[in-house]
Every structure is written in C-alpha cells, then in structure tokens.
C-alpha cells in the first residue's frame, strides 16, 4: 500500500503543473486551468469507483471521511491510474473532434510533466516492500 497522505498530493501536483505552465507561458490559459480542474474532479469521483485495488478499499474508507477530497490525500501513483482509464472515460463524452484533440494534447503535456518530475512525485518503495534479505549473503 501507498502510505497516506501522500506528498505531494494530486492537488499539489496539479498546482505545480499550473505554476510550471505560468513560468513557461507567462500566464495560465483558461483551458489549462479548466483541464486541471476537470482532472481533479474526475480523480475524486473515479478513485473509489475504479482506481483502487481491492486491498486499498479499507485504507480509502479510513482516510476519506466527511468532505475530504481524495485529491488532497492521494498522490501521483493513483493519478497515473486515472490517466490509464481516461481513454475509456473520454470515449463516452460527447465532444467535438477538435476539442477532444486539444484536450488530449493538454493531458499529454501533464503526463510529460509527471515524467520529468517522477523522482519528486512518485515513491521508490511501497509500504510492505521487503527491506532486504539477510539470507542472501555470499559465502
């Protein structure tokens, strides 16, 4: 299991992405802000419904209570799962082809941002990983 809350959270990652776009473009485009807002919303709704493994359900119920948004607790590992599901989710959305292409380009840009910052956003080990095998010493 990924220890929760993660740092940075999905909210934090999307905020960092917007800051990155501001530095690169000297402004935040409305469409960029809208895409990150939509991603956050999709993430919050999709996480309990389709992004968690069975063994993560209990952890979710313990961590997400009241009006706590999953995007303020979970991190990049679970955000990436949303990106895997997005083609399936977007196929049911009624959108003009031009708008869909623009959305895909923005999503690809966010994925590239995640990749560039993977050392900062993703864990290198998970809770429950073995911490080394003492019996593997050479003779």
CATH architecture of 10-121: Orthogonal Bundle (1.10)
For 84-132, what is each residue's pLDDT tens digit? 999 888 888 888 999 999 999 999 999 999 999 999 999 887 665 444 3
Quote the CA–CA distance of 31 and 25 in Å, as a whole number.
Answer: 13
CA-CA distance, 38 to 44, in Å (whole number)?
Answer: 10
pLDDT band at 44 (very low <50, low <70, confident <90, very high): very high
Q: Are 73 and 4 in contact (CB under 8 A)?
A: yes
Cis peptide before 8 (omega within 30 of 0): yes
What is d(CA 106, CA 35) in angstroms, rounded to the nearest whole number? 7
Q: Are the beta carbons of 113 and 80 closer than 8 angstroms?
A: no
Residues 6+ apart with CB under 8 A from 55: 1
**Does pLDDT of 18 surpass 70?**
yes
pTM of the shown model:
0.87
The mean pLDDT of 34-42, rounded to a whole number, is: 95
């Amino acid at each position: 299991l990924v220890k929760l809350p993660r740092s940075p959270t999905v909210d934090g990652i999307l905020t960092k992405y917007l800051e990155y776009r501001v530095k690169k473009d000297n402004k935040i485009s409305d469409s960029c802000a809208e895409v990150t807002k939509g991603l956050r919303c999709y993430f919050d709704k999709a996480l309990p419904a389709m992004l968690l493994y069975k063994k993560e359900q209990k952890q979710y119920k313990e961590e997400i209570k009241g009006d706590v948004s999953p995007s303020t607790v979970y991190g990049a590992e679970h955000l990436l799962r949303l990106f895997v599901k997005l083609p399936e989710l977007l196929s049911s959305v009624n959108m003009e082809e031009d708008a869909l292409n623009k959305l895909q380009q923005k999503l690809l840009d966010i994925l590239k941002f995640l990749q560039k910052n993977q050392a900062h956003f993703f864990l290198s080990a998970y809770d429950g990983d073995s911490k080394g095998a003492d019996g593997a010493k050479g003779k």
